[in-house]
Chain A
């Protein structure tokens, strides 16, 4: 009798535990989908690789990292799991880590990848724990080629508008030097001749050549960025287009205008719109990655252009604050929290970080102006996904291993805090850093990711920043 009774009690306890676990599975899910906005080479893939490595090392192996991620204290984490994100290829984490192990940087992203990071956090409150023993914090990340991002503003422009703008851009600023060949080609080109497939191909090919040269020289505002990717599914040879002189775009009956206009429409409808729909789904939180070193590496003009590019990109997203009801009713979310992040901050001595942050704040002025009249929370961060430099012999110096595997000390002049303070004929050449052999330790020594995710995960109503 006693055995039966205790078996019954055990069974009841088991059912209660299972039920509460299942209830917790359903009720206590917190999904955070981030729009990670970053131009090409801004370090998106490395950031994903780092955050995954850090979380795994912190939770599974007990390494001290991400100390400021107070929302997810390691002792409360039950497990961390990566799952594929529906509709996306899985993020090639293993390939990225293998590349680093072979002392190569992860390959640039040439298509969209997605993954879901599920972190199960145990409930710490003794009473709540009985009913809902855990909370699943789910991060959804999407990685994509930065070139696609540059193209998004094209969706809101007609071909004539885009062509005139692109022509004006390539005729000014630092890119005008790289556009000389293209301009000379257009100058020689016979637009009286019919736009045959071959002639269109010649024109598009020459324009694409300009885009590639300009990109390799640090120009950020290059459209269509999709033409820079050989893996792009859009057939630029069949349906390509290029900016035309205004003498042609002003005449909508011109055969070249007609054909490029048709190709431009197709590009928007069949290529860009589906990308925007699938990859750049609107979310509540946005991380905007900025590689300031791409600008500092070249000139002040490049930095101004970066500022302009970010400003244009902000047009492509919907900002605003949603009510509790709107969220529950499944209305399309609006971005209510933005983090502007300068990546690769370890490429500057620590003493220059305040200046870098000030520079970042100025670079994002245009983008911030887009939501200045809305209650959007934003913050600026410096992040190094992997610490590839060591302290130098002086505060203004740091050391690194270059691609020839020599150990080099670089001494920096002070980085300007304002764009206008940067000399027009000076630049900060980017360090030619090799992937270190001890890459895992250096990923774990990365800085700023904990601060960034703590900011993004904390709701305004969570005063102590904890679940």
Chain B
């Protein structure tokens, strides 16, 4: 058997108990600890574009007038050949003439009001370019200064109009912010909670407006009314999308949008010509009229989407 004198342990000397100087000074306090509040709760999204009653009533009245006019024209078409026999039926012709004037007048009023509204330039659009720049830097892997990011975002956030969806999202974003977050993290949160959500909502609004534009084009009895209706829906789209963003397009943006709007109306005119031509080749029946209006409705919806997308690109 091997010699086992436990030699490893014989040489061990007694080790003093380690003592250390504390680098924390503790002091009892004479107050009760504060209670930690639960974080805020996020309620389901219920934001709707703000609706003003007076606007709604004018809008509805105009729509009603338009419908009445359509029905009038349809009745007129069905009963007699009004256009060629105005002298023979002076009362009905006069009545329809008055109705037509009212519709055109109402649509003109709405369009003018929307036009004046979106002419207001908002300086906040300049800040969005700063945010885009920061996002590019973040994507490139740069570490962003938290104070700079907070400043740019706060400045941008304060420009949102109080009843806009963007302001609603911005308030939610503020609930998520913690002091220990980095600049890149704040920017990412802003992107998720404001930029992205606002765009999603704008797309939803745009889709609704495209349906409205199509419907208006469908029920419009003649090209004049159709153009007026599209003009109105176009301005309404601009207003509603701008409401989502909480911003109005800038002056330069206005010109761009006006260009798109003019192109849309011109395009709609071409669609009208084409459908008129097709209709004249096919027949003059009611079903042909239906087909014509349906084609124009699809075109109007698509053109409205085009306008909305141009606006979203501008406001993004």
Residues of A whose CB lies within 8 Å of any CB of B are: 61-65, 67-68, 70, 73-75, 167, 171, 174, 176-177, 180, 183-184, 186-187, 189, 191-192, 245-248, 250-251, 253-256, 298-299, 350, 353, 387, 390, 399-401, 406-413, 423, 425-429, 431, 436-438, 440-442, 444-445, 447, 451, 463, 465
Known: A180-B15, A253-B2, A447-B180. A428 touches B38 (CB 8 A): no
Residues 171-200 of chain B, each 1 if its beta carbon lies under 8 Å from chain A, else 0: 000011111110001001100100000000
Q: List, in ascending order, chain B residues with CB within 8 A of A350's CB.
A: 179-180
Contact A186 B41 (CB under 8 A): no
Please pick, from A73, A247, A431, the residue contacting B2 in the complex, using a CB distance under 8 A: A247
Minimum CB distance partner of A182 in chain B: B9
Contact A247 B39 (CB under 8 A): no
Could you list 24 examples of A-B contacts with CB < 8 Å?
Answer: A62-B42, A63-B38, A64-B41, A64-B176, A68-B188, A74-B42, A167-B8, A177-B15, A180-B15, A186-B6, A298-B20, A299-B18, A390-B33, A399-B29, A406-B28, A407-B29, A427-B22, A427-B23, A428-B24, A429-B22, A438-B36, A441-B37, A447-B180, A463-B139
Residues of B whose CB lies within 8 Å of any CB of A are: 1-10, 12, 14-29, 31-43, 45, 139, 175-181, 185, 188-189, 192
Contact B4 A247 (CB under 8 A): yes
Q: List, in ascending order, chain B residues with CB within 8 A of A408's CB.
A: 26-29
Minimum CB–CB distance from A444 to chain B (whole Å) comes to 5
Beyond the given pairs A191-B6, A245-B8, A436-B36, 7 more chain A to chain B contacts, judged by CB atoms under 8 angstroms and listed by A's residue number, are A177-B16, A187-B6, A245-B9, A247-B6, A411-B25, A438-B35, A441-B35
Contact A426 B36 (CB under 8 A): no
Please pick, from A63, A189, A387, A427, the residue contacting B41 in the complex, using a CB distance under 8 A: A63
Contact A62 B26 (CB under 8 A): no
Minimum CB distance partner of A424 in chain B: B20
Bound-state CA distance A59–B132 (Å) is 30
Minimum CB–CB distance from A180 to chain B (whole Å) comes to 6
Bound-state CA distance A276–B1 (Å) is 37
Contact B7 A73 (CB under 8 A): no
Q: List, in ascending order, chain B residues with CB within 8 A of A353's CB.
A: 180
Known: A73-B192, A387-B36, A428-B24. A187 touches B180 (CB 8 A): no
Contact B41 A254 (CB under 8 A): no
Contact A176 B15 (CB under 8 A): yes
Known: A64-B40, A191-B4, A440-B38. A75 touches B20 (CB 8 A): no
Please pick, from A248, A426, A431, A463, the residue contacting B20 in the complex, using a CB distance under 8 A: A426
Bound-state CA distance A251–B177 (Å) is 65
Q: List, in ascending order, chain B residues with CB within 8 A of A431's CB.
A: 24
Q: List, in ascending order, chain A residues with CB within 8 A of B26's CB.
A: 408-411
Minimum CB distance partner of A70 in chain B: B192
Minimum CB distance partner of B14 in chain A: A180
Minimum CB distance partner of A297 in chain B: B20
Q: List, in ascending order, chain B residues with CB within 8 A of A407's CB.
A: 28-29, 31-33
Bound-state CA distance A219–B14 (Å) is 19
Contact A64 B33 (CB under 8 A): no
Minimum CB–CB distance from B23 to chain A (whole Å) comes to 4
Minimum CB distance partner of B193 in chain A: A67
Q: List, in ascending order, chain A residues with CB within 8 A of B175's CB.
A: 64
Bound-state CA distance A183–B31 (Å) is 49
Q: List, in ascending order, chain B residues with CB within 8 A of A73's CB.
A: 192
Bound-state CA distance A408–B32 (Å) is 10
Contact A187 B10 (CB under 8 A): yes
Minimum CB distance partner of B17 in chain A: A177
Minimum CB–CB distance from A72 to chain B (whole Å) comes to 11
Q: List, in ascending order, chain B residues with CB within 8 A of A445's CB.
A: 36, 39
Please pick, from B20, B28, B177, the residue contacting A299 in the complex, using a CB distance under 8 A: B20
Minimum CB–CB distance from B169 to chain A (whole Å) comes to 11
Contact B7 A428 (CB under 8 A): no
Q: List, in ascending order, chain B residues with CB within 8 A of A191's CB.
A: 4, 6
Bound-state CA distance A381–B176 (Å) is 19
Q: List, in ascending order, chain B residues with CB within 8 A of A390's CB.
A: 33-34
Bound-state CA distance A390–B36 (Å) is 9
Contact A192 B1 (CB under 8 A): yes
Contact A412 B12 (CB under 8 A): no
Minimum CB–CB distance from A255 to chain B (whole Å) comes to 8
Bound-state CA distance A279–B177 (Å) is 37
Known: A68-B181, A177-B18. A410 touches B41 (CB 8 A): no
Contact A245 B176 (CB under 8 A): no
Minimum CB–CB distance from B97 to chain A (whole Å) comes to 43
Q: Which of B26, B177, B179 has the most CB of A within 10 A?
A: B26
Contact B1 A427 (CB under 8 A): no
Minimum CB–CB distance from A214 to chain B (whole Å) comes to 12
Closest 10 CB pairs of A and B: A67-B176, A245-B8, A251-B2, A427-B20, A413-B23, A441-B36, A187-B9, A191-B4, A64-B39, A62-B41
Minimum CB–CB distance from B10 to chain A (whole Å) comes to 7
Bound-state CA distance A256–B6 (Å) is 13
Bound-state CA distance A255–B8 (Å) is 18
Bound-state CA distance A176–B35 (Å) is 44
Contact A247 B27 (CB under 8 A): no
Contact B33 A171 (CB under 8 A): no
Bound-state CA distance A289–B213 (Å) is 59
Please pick, from B6, B28, B189, the residue contacting A68 in the complex, using a CB distance under 8 A: B189
Minimum CB distance partner of B3 in chain A: A247
Bound-state CA distance A445–B16 (Å) is 43
Contact B188 A410 (CB under 8 A): no
Bound-state CA distance A247–B3 (Å) is 8
Contact B189 A67 (CB under 8 A): yes
Bound-state CA distance A177–B29 (Å) is 36
Minimum CB–CB distance from A4 to chain B (whole Å) comes to 27
